[in-house]
Amino acid sequence: MSYQSELAALLNSLDFSDAADVIVDKVIGLYESGWLGDKPLSAYEDAARLVVGDDLKKIRAEAERKLNEVIRLVNDSYADLGSDVARSASEVQALARTDLKDWGNYSKGTIESIARVARTGILGGDSVDEMRGKFEALGDKVAGFADTLAKHTVKTNGQACIVAKANEAEVFYYAYTGPPPRDVKGPHRSHVFCIETYKYKKRTFHLDDIKQMRNGQREPVIYNRGGWRCRHSWEPDTFYNPEKHSVYFITVPDGKRDVKIGRHN
């Protein structure tokens, strides 16, 4: 089974629909900021745990297992690039720390919704069942985003491992690979970065080229590809002939954001 198919199977096996740890963490963060008022932290934390359950350790442990499995897949699939990539590799380790901070990094509106449920429920004397109903009303906003963060974290760390391994082997050219993007209207449309990059057959760029690119969402592009839940990868291209390598950049609007893409001369 190829690296890409194994990674796809790994991502599909992730199920973070239970966002209990994220909600509890957010309640704690809001308390520390003073947003929730004067009640002791234990009151808010206990209420949140009663509502959503104490699954923090289970979910974090599952994420850790998946990230380690990605490292194994990279080492097995890119054995020709030299020595194994370890979790201690500095850039992989730094990326993991950064991404794990993003768990539960909701939009302002969702944070306020979570806080409002916790605050009004506790101060208003709601029963656990009443508070649970209010949290469940947040539904897809909470669980869906937690799932996106989990899957994006695993994929991004996998890409970081590939880059670390390629750097050790002194391979600095990468081909943008994966399924053809969906250039359609609506929610199933692929990222603008991916659509524009795939308009040309030559999609191999030097690491320095990729560092100049922007996807308008989450960067750097070398790790995050087209953005959230992107299905593409930067694959080390050991056969690329850089003799006539010449690249320029264009900027394409994506709503209020700009996307910067490389083109071959």
Does residue 186 share a domain with residue 147? no
Does residue 160 share a domain with residue 39? yes
Determine the Cα–Cα distance for residues 127 and 122; give it in Å rounded to an integer: 9
Does residue 206 share a domain with residue 155? no
Does residue 95 share a domain with residue 21? yes
Mean pLDDT, residues 47-57: 57
Does residue 149 share a domain with residue 46? yes
Burial class of residue 234, CB neighbours in 10 A (0-12, 13-18, 19+): buried
Candidate ranges 86-95, 101-110, 253-262; pick with highest mean pLDDT: 253-262
| End residue of a domain, out of 168, 192, 222 | 168
Q: How far is CA 235 from the centre of its chain?
A: 18
Which position has the higher pLDDT, 83 or 193?
Answer: 193
Does residue 138 share a domain with residue 23? yes
113 within 8 A of 121, measured Cβ to Cβ: no
| End residue of a domain, out of 148, 168, 188 | 168
Domain that holds residue 39: 3-168
Mean pLDDT, residues 88-112: 58
Does residue 140 share a domain with residue 66? yes
Confidence of residue 97 (pLDDT cuts 50, 70, 90): low
pLDDT of residue 133: 63
Does residue 212 share a domain with residue 143? no
Residue 138 has pLDDT above 60, yes or no: yes
Determine the Cα–Cα distance for residues 216 and 246; give it in Å rounded to an integer: 24
Does residue 185 share a domain with residue 74? no
How many domains are there within the chain?
2
Verify cis geometry, omega within 30 degrees of 0, for the bond prior to 181.
Answer: no
Rg (CA), the chain: 21
User: In 3D, which of 207, 152, 205, 209 has the Cα closest to residue 176?
Assistant: 205
pTM, two decimal places: 0.69
